Amino acid sequence: MRKITHLPNHIAFIMDGNGRWAEQRGLPRIEGHRAGADNTHSIIFCLDKLRIKYVTLYSFSTENWNRPQEEISNLIAILEESIEKNTFDLHQRHIKLRHLGRLEGLSEQLKQAIDWAHKLTKNNKGMTLSLAFNYGSRLEILDAARAIIAQGIPSDKIDEKLFSNYLYTAGLPDVDMVIRTGGELRLSNFLLWQSAYSEYYFTEVLWPDFNTNEIEKALIAYSQRQRRFGSL
In the chain, which stretches have pLDDT less than 70?
A: 1, 229-232
Residue 190 lies in a domain: yes
| Residue 196 forms part of a structural domain | yes
147 falls within a domain: no
231 domain-assigned: no
pLDDT for res 231 = 56
Whole-model pTM: value is: 0.95
Q: Between β-strands 96-100 and 10-14, what pairing exists: parallel, antiparallel or unpaired?
A: unpaired
pLDDT at 105: 84
Q: Is residue 179, in this structure, part of any structural domain at all? A: yes
Residue 212 placed within a domain: yes
Q: CA-CA distances (angstroms) from residue 33 to 15, 23, 115, 192, 200? A: 10, 11, 23, 25, 24
| One-letter amino acid for residue 128 of the chain | T
Q: What values do phi and psi take at 133, rounded to 5?
A: -125, 130
Residue range of the domain that includes 188: 10-138+175-223
Number of domains in the chain: 1
Q: Cα-atom radius of gyration of the chain, to the nearest Å?
A: 18
Question: CB 157: neighbour CB atoms within 10 A?
Answer: 8
144 occurs within a structural domain:
no
The CATH number for 211's domain is 3.40.1180.10
Is 3 domain-assigned? Answer: no
Q: Which residues carry out catalysis? A: 16, 64
